[in-house]
Amino acid sequence: MADSPGARTRRQAAAVAKQVPEKSLMNGHANGSVNGSAHSRNSTTRPETSENIFLFYPNIIGYSRIVLALASLYYMPLHPRTCSLLYSVSCLLDALDGYAARYFHQSTQFGAVLDMVTDRCTTACLLVFLSSAFPRWAILFQGLISLDLASHYIHMYATLSMGGSGQSHKKVDESRSKLLHLYYTNKTVLFVFCAFNEVFFIALYLLSFSSPMLSPSLLPTDKTPGSSAQPGNPSHPASTFFATPGSAWAMELARANKMDSFWPWVIAGVSFPVMAAKQFLNVVQLVKASKWLAEGDRAARAEQGLPKKTK
């Protein structure tokens, strides 16, 4: 018996209604899978950020230290007060860049190297001037420059080659050296040693302009035994650099040579023991780093079957 047109229409409508939810469910499942996978990928893949390491706050402070150090070097043979102020501020900023690196989470290997290189260069430049100001002690100042550079370079190299590229030179294991561990891990000890070391050399610098005991050329007469006309020495006549003896340079030099040497002597006496201890630590650091490198050399030679036994 054939269905009536109305009955066929009702069955077709029911079939269509049944298929629509199934297709919708399938499409929804498919879209959900695609969107879900895309969401999963987006949640696990972070957008790449291009950070300019050179413009991190502690590194900007490091650049400021370099500018101040260069300015202090310019004034070093001319204006002892100005030079001492600029040099001291540059040294004090050494503590600020470390604080900024921790506060802003911007500790970088570039910043650590920049900080160390700036320290070594500024101290070396000051010691070079002291070598010219006190020629009799030049070999001592040259030795201090060499010790400072060699100690820190070998220590840095040993840390990178033996401890790994991500290892900081300030992370010294206590088993290797308790003194170096205390020096690098205790921020107070590190600051005091570095500050007093620089303060001692600054005091010597001021004494080269104020103490006839250390610089006989500061005595009133130019015929004083031991006087020197070497450029860079406070006694060097201003007319050598400027035709007019009454120039600003000569006036500042005359004022500088009348500096009272009392406080520079006091500062030098107080800071000398800490400076001597700092040089001792440099020797310890040099020896420990050399032994660490030698351990690595022995291990590498053992892996290569060296030394070969001779029959």
Give the Cα separation of 74 and 93 in Å (integer): 19
Tokens in use for 286? 């040099």
Residues in contact with 117: Cβ distance below 8 Å, sequence separation at least 6, in sequence order: none
Contact between residue 293 and residue 160 where contact means Cβ atoms under 8 Å apart:
no
CA 49 to chain centre: 25
∠ Cα 195 197 76 (to 5°):
90
Length of the chain: 311
- Confirm whether 115 is a catalytic residue: no
Contact between residue 75 and residue 83 where contact means Cβ atoms under 8 Å apart:
yes
Choosing from 97, 119, 148, 222, the catalytic residue is 119
SS3 content of the chain, % helix, strand, coil (to 5): 75, 0, 25
Please list the active-site residues: 119
